Amino acid sequence: MTTQTVRASGSAPRPPEHRGGGRIQGGLLDPKQMVTSLPDALRKLDPRTLWRNPVMFIVEIGAVWTTVLAALDPSVFAWLIAAWLWLTVVFANVAEAVAEGRGKAQADALRRAKTDAVARRLTGWARDRADLREERVAAPDLRQGDHVVVEAGEIIPGDGDVVEGIASVDESAITGESAPVIRESGGDRSAVTGGTKVLSDRIIVKITQKPGESFIDRMIALVEGSSRQKTPNEIALNILLAALTIIFLLAVATLQPLAIFSRSVNPGVGDGPALDAHGVTGIVLVSLLVCLIPTTIGALLSAIGIAGMDRLVQRNVLAMSGRAVEAAGDVNTLLLDKTGTITLGNRQAAEFLPLRSGGADELADAAQLSSLADETPEGRSVVVLAKQRHGLRERTPGELSHATWVPFSAQTRMSGVDLHESGNGTPDRMLRKGAAAAVGEWVREQGGDVPADLHRIVDGISASGGTPLVVGEVVDRTARVLGVIHLKDVVKAGMRERFDEMRRMGIRTVMITGDNPLTAKAIADEAGVDDFLAEAKPEDKLALIKREQEGGRLVAMTGDGTNDAPALAQADVGVAMNTGTSAAKEAGNMVDLDSDPTKLIEIVEIGKQLLITRGALTTFSIANDIAKYFAIIPALFAGLYPGLDALNIMRLHSPQSAILSAVVFNALVIIALIPLALRGVRYRPSSASTLLSRNLYVYGLGGIVAPFVGIKIIDLIIRFLPGMS
């Protein structure tokens, strides 16, 4: 299975922060974003929109009722409360509008890539090819199954698969990567995206999209948030917040009869804006309700979900649903391809093993000579190793004018060189490099013997997961085996550490490979994965995913080929490579535009960061209520029940300033937490119990302490306002 992007220029992908035109980076709150998002925030005050957020819908109703009461019985206190309740709703809408605005910047860049190009549609494709005719139609008029021809300089009019030809394609409008990629018929690099540009050659594309449902159309809808559906956890948390709101609504409602009864027992005590002859005033009841319900997390919940998808977009990953991002945070098992994911994908020469002592330099010289014309990564690595380990200068084929190069062939399974130094037409020295059996047979044909030690060395390399290449030589009609080159499929740097992190997170890693079990075990041990599946076929991957899911685990995997589609569809998180086939991209619930299979690990970390951020801010929001109790309840009822004055530990100036301070803090804390909601709580790989303890300590304790400090500071500022005595 091919999992690496083929880049025509051979350039490496750029870091995520430099990709994509118009993308908003980072998680910090830019004041300009707030200003540009304010019109959207005001539009979201429409009750037909806001009712989907029950907590903020209650706050808006309270703001309307407070405004009516302030108009009927005007006072500075009443109008200040009404104003800050409206600001609370607006700030909540700003949080969501800013999160959506960050995605709209990416959507604008995608719209620029979406063109209504003219397509060169081929008619008669399903019939006799001799009857093929070309007609020009508008790109939106294309239907599934149509075939179009695209040549150099033309825009691909729709999503599809290359069925004929090979071309270099500029996908910078989609991926932000300037280096072109190769698309060709057959294999796993046949998918093309509408709006990209063919740079060379000619291809015929079979359209796979439905009208108006192109890849770019779906990307625009997703990054703007217009098609974002709430995830199961988000829905469950909304239900919990709605339940808490109802509980606090009932609790606040019971305060009114309590106050009326208390006033009947102690008439004339505690009169003022908070209490009057009819009990607790309506403005104070609304203020108390708004301060006690979980407004903070209710305001930020949607922004957290949108920001989680935006963080994936920043890394050039398109999530087809918020459910996929959330599932990534709960993943228990990661299925990772060996080639291109865990290993570099190209075998590298690691060691020269001579068959006689002191023959290492001789073996290195012969191995380098036989590899000079070998342009494969393996051949180049042999030349480099000989230079680095044995001080041999890097020669070029052009320097050896008397050499005849023997290319590798599947029949001989060898390559090498014949050196004609004497110039008499007969090779003075012949070198061969290749499979052990092939080189051994060649040495015997030349009249030499194969040492018994050769089989021991070859078997040892194979058992360790490496590939042995035997080097043989014929000089003066004497044939012999010089030694063995050890080729290794090199594990990427830092993979063991990353898998250790996964283990601390409670995630089991499984390596998928087509290698034999011995080679697979050696690579698995070196990389540090928990398990491996050797000689894997598509049906084996699907069976493994089903077994893991039957055990109650969530599974994530990557893939790019049509044969990966069933497994991608079955996995809870299926990340399809953008270089892959249309079937793979349709089956997965995420698409990696950079086609980097190692990004699956980053996706899991982003999913976990989303869940942790949501949990941390929920903890902070609920913990806030404790301080608000101490601010409002003693100030409200201390006149009726002097014993409650002992709970007034903040010693706020007056009941009016206490209530207003709590309402102001309740609104300002939303604005203060927007950057954290957008950026996400910093994630450190650790166990669930450690994360829970840290969140309780930082956000639970912080949620209790912060309101005490904030409300007291606000009280010191507003105590001098008229009507706050």
C-alpha–C-alpha distance, residues 436 and 433, integer Å: 9
- The annotation status of 218 as a binding-site residue, yes or no, is no
Number of separate helices (H) and strands (E) present in the chain: 23, 22
C-alpha–C-alpha distance, residues 359 and 373, integer Å: 23
- The annotation status of 374 as a binding-site residue, yes or no, is yes
- The annotation status of 415 as a binding-site residue, yes or no, is yes
The CATH 3.40.1110.10 domain(s) of the chain lie at 344-490
Nearest alpha-carbon partner for 725 in 73, 75, 62, 286: 75
pLDDT digits (tens, 9 = 90+) for 44-77: 888 888 888 888 899 999 999 999 988 988 888 8
- The annotation status of 408 as a binding-site residue, yes or no, is yes
C-alpha–C-alpha distance, residues 417 and 594, integer Å: 40
pLDDT digits (tens, 9 = 90+) for 666-720: 999 998 898 888 888 887 777 667 777 888 888 888 888 888 888 889 888 887 7
Which of these is catalytic: 159, 310, 337, 596? 337
- The annotation status of 333 as a binding-site residue, yes or no, is no
Domain spanning 118-157+159-208, CATH architecture: Distorted Sandwich (2.70)
- The annotation status of 159 as a binding-site residue, yes or no, is no
The CATH 3.40.50.1000 domain(s) of the chain lie at 317-342+492-593
pLDDT at 265 (0 to 100):
56
| Three-class SS state of 477 | coil
- The annotation status of 564 as a binding-site residue, yes or no, is yes
With beta carbons less than 8 A apart as the criterion, state whether 575 and 591 touch.
Answer: yes
- Cα torsion through 112, 225, 86, 241, rounded to 10: -170
pLDDT digits (tens, 9 = 90+) for 400-413: 767 888 887 767 78
Q: Is 337 in the active site?
A: yes
- The annotation status of 684 as a binding-site residue, yes or no, is no
The CATH 2.70.150.10 domain(s) of the chain lie at 118-157+159-208
The superfamily in CATH containing domain 317-342+492-593 is HAD superfamily/HAD-like (3.40.50.1000)
- The annotation status of 413 as a binding-site residue, yes or no, is yes
pLDDT digits (tens, 9 = 90+) for 462-501: 777 678 889 999 988 889 999 999 988 777 878 888 888 8
pLDDT digits (tens, 9 = 90+) for 355-411: 876 688 888 888 888 888 777 778 888 888 888 887 777 676 666 767 888 887 767
C-alpha–C-alpha distance, residues 455 and 372, integer Å: 26
- The annotation status of 594 as a binding-site residue, yes or no, is no
Hey, what CATH class is 344-490 in? Answer: alpha beta
